[in-house]
Chain A
Amino acid sequence: MTPPAGTHRFPGTTLRRIAPLLFSEAFIVAVVDPTIADLQAEFAAAGDNRARQLRARWRGYAAFWRVTLAAPFAALAPAPAAPSEVDAPAAPRRTGNLGTIAVIVAVLAVNRVFLGISFIVLAAAVLCAIVIHLWYERHPSDTAAPRDRSWRSPQINFSNMEVPGNIGGLIFMVGSLLVVLLGLPSVLWFLLIGAAAGSFVAWRLATWHARHPKWGLPENRIVLR
């Protein structure tokens, strides 16, 4: 494409320059470059018409920043799920329905004094569920729960709930913290310090395991017979 006469700089040049600071290489190739290419193609097609040039810039820049906002939730999906994994959501859905009924019964059963805060907590939980659902709609190959988890009964123990290290797990964790905070605002500092300490321990563990990759492998374990 050839830029219109009198144009000193082709639009999108700066965006392309800052893209590596914001996105991975794969995301740039698949998403960012075509978005900028559209902006440049529309700008070139506008010729010397200033109004059309302005419109092309506006639409192109808006698209780029929408891509930036969508990027954290838009990991490009891997290959389609294996047949055995397709049925996986059925059991969580049944559990989810039972959980929803339990929450509604609990809200209706609480004292009137706590009814207001109960609805606020319920609204936050619904919002969290909607966000996870929207994320799952966009990433049907991923789930917010680990696929190979061993059976546990977490009951009310948050530390026993396993989530994978992806955006779905992060949404679940942040949403759960928000729900607890709305119900029990007095534990704000406890949760904040706990989250900071937990993150620090996780970071130390990750770096330690990176330095000792063979630790914990079955052949290194001592088995008493």
Chain B
Amino acid sequence: MSPAGFGPLPRKEQLILELLVENGPMYGLELVDRSAGALKRGTVYVTLGRMEAKGFVESSHEPLPAGGIGLPRRMYRPTALGERMLGAWNAFTRQLAMEVKS
């Protein structure tokens, strides 16, 4: 059983939430750079898209400068639900570790 009736929080989603909570809003590429190899550039947006569908993160487009071309990057930030999920998951895993040790 996992917290609040949600499914388990996968490791990558947990890492992304931790990075976003600690460092504030970030681009996908910044998350990859700060994850020390745990997140890959080719799959990070799949994970972020899934987390957005679950309501754990939200994103907004960066404004393009005047005369700028190309696609705008997306900035990701944790939602209140995402932060609560991370807190509940960390508490759950700590509790589980204590139960196993005792």
Nearest CB in chain B: distance from A1 CB, A: 5
Contact B28 A34 (CB under 8 A): yes
Is A115 interfacial (CB 8 A cutoff)? no
**Interface size class of chain B, counting residues whose CB lies under 8 Å from the partner chain:** 20 to 34
Q: Which of B1, B29, B48 contacts A86 (CB 8 A)?
A: B1
The CA of A9 and the CA of B6, in the complex, are separated in Å by 46
The CA of A12 and the CA of B71, in the complex, are separated in Å by 9
Interface core residue of A2, A10, A37 (most chain B CB under 10 Å): A37
Contact B48 A30 (CB under 8 A): yes
Q: Which of B2, B46, B52, B70 contacts A44 (CB 8 A)?
A: B70
Contact B54 A40 (CB under 8 A): no
Is B94 interfacial (CB 8 A cutoff)? no
Is B34 interfacial (CB 8 A cutoff)? no
Contact A80 B54 (CB under 8 A): yes
Contact A40 B70 (CB under 8 A): yes
Contact B73 A38 (CB under 8 A): yes
Is A197 interfacial (CB 8 A cutoff)? no
9 contacts between A and B (CB under 8 A): A1-B68, A10-B70, A16-B71, A30-B45, A30-B48, A40-B71, A42-B29, A44-B70, A77-B50
Chain B interface (Cβ < 8 Å from any Cβ of A) = 1-2, 5-8, 10, 27-29, 40-43, 45-46, 48-50, 52-55, 64-65, 67-74
